[in-house]
Structure 1
Amino acid sequence: MALERRKVLGIGAGLAVLPAGWALHQVANGTKRDWHTDTAPLERAFPLLSPLSDAKWVSSRDSDDRGIPSPELVISGFARLTPGRLAELTAAHAFVSEGPTDGFSSWFEKPLKGEGPENPQWVRSHELDRDGSGYSTKLWFDRRSDTVRFWALNPYG
């Protein structure tokens, strides 16, 4: 009887420790992020910007609180251009001073609020924004940080 009672207490103690141990393991390994950091999908979506050195982006197909992913693919976020790439783009295309009008207003963009360059000086080239064939892209560039902020609907066509 005493042996069985110790087993039950031991199992109960083990079960109580499991959630805390799992949470610490998740944090230590950084397995859950609020955004993507891989640049390869962005380089496929925006070949003119390649190669990219780093990124923080989200997708409308990421899981959300509602539990229903979007039927259309929208990607949104920030990426860093390699040194000199923005200078090449501004030499080849017309740019105007223009910043984004919204502040990541979609449900899936919430993790991006507060991210990005400090005090950006956004410029935009309407030539580089693509419209038609079922997709649309908006690109804003910060000259100081070589960062591009992007929003794209169906970027892969």
Structure 2
Amino acid sequence: MDRRKVIGIGVGLAVLPTWWALRQVANGTKRDWHTDTAPLERAFPLLGPLTDAKWVSSRDNDRGIPSPELVISGFARLSPGKLAELAAAHTFVSEAPADGFSSWFEKPLKGEGPENPQWVRSHELDREGSGYFTKLWFDRRSDTVRFRALNPYGWAGH
């Protein structure tokens, strides 16, 4: 093979990964989490309209393991004044989440969320939440809720 062809192929192979990475950035590569708030507002109607969200689902990047269960986990920002409204109607206690994001699908959330949160929780709100197993933690300083819910839309799924 001609030496120029070999050099040309080598340069092409060296440039291709850089071109692909730049193209992904330019096209806005899909993040590892969802940012849409509508599914969360449907799952947690008591939280009212949400202004921001980062969340994942156990059905994201499905690993081929069939399961009727859906788990959603993440963070959402409450609208101004909503946490005060909830605190006036429900009892809150200081309680941080017992674990980090330990499930395989929750890995993208590690390191996300409010800085130095001061978590509080209302067990009443957990019982009133949608789904069969809902946990909600609130950070008063940032109006952020951290959530984890099993089958938040009922058994029909997402």
TM-score (norm 1): 0.83
The answer to whether structure 1 residue 74 and structure 2 residue 80 are counterparts is no
Preserved CA contact (<8 Å) 1:60 1:70: no
Letter in 1 for 2:88: A
Q: 1:22 Cα shift?
A: 3.0
Whether the 8 Å CA contact 2:75–2:146 is kept in 1: the answer is yes
Correspondence for 1:50: 48
Greater length-normalized contact order (CA 8 Å, ≥ 6 residues apart): 2
Match of 1:24 among 17, 22, 28: 22
Cα separation, partners in 2 of 1:144 and 1:69, compared to 1, 3 Å: farther
Aligned to 1:3: none
Q: 1:69 to 1:148 in 2, by over 3 A?
A: farther
Q: How far apart, in 1, do the equivalents of 2:40 and 2:143 lie?
A: 16
Given residue 68 of structure 1, which amino acid in structure 2 is its aligned partner? Answer: G
**Which sections of structure 2, spanning at least 5 residues, go unmatched?**
none
Which ranges of 4 or more aligned residues in structure 1 deviate by more than 4 Å? 9-19, 131-134
Picking from 54, 69, 92, the partner of 2:89 is 92
CA distance in 1, matches of 2:130, 2:77: 27
Deviations along 1:20-49, one digit per CA (max 9) or x if unpaired, are 433211112222211111111100100111
Q: Cα 1:89–1:59, aligned 2, differ >3 Å: closer, same or farther?
A: same
Count of paired positions: 152
Query: Sequence identity, in percent?
Result: 85
Residue ranges of structure 1 left out of the alignment (5+ in a row): 1-5
Root-mean-square deviation (Å): 2.6
Cα distance in 2 between the residues matched to 1:131 and 1:88: 15
SS at match of 1:127: helix
- The match for 1:120 among 95, 111, 117 is 117
Which structure would you say has the larger Rg?
A: 1
Larger deviation, residues 130-139 vs 23-32: 130-139
Contact residue 131 and residue 153 of structure 2 kept, 8 A = no
Partner of 1:62: 60
In structure 2, relative to structure 1, the CA distance for the partners of 1:51 and 1:22 (3 Å cut) is: same
Select 2:142's aligned residue among 138, 145, 148: 145
Q: Secondary structure at the match of 2:148?
A: strand
The answer as to whether partners of 2:118 and 2:140 remain within 8 angstroms in 1 is yes
Instruction: Tell me the amino acid that sits aligned with residue 106 of structure 2.
Output: E
Name the TM-score, length of structure 2 as normaliser. 0.83
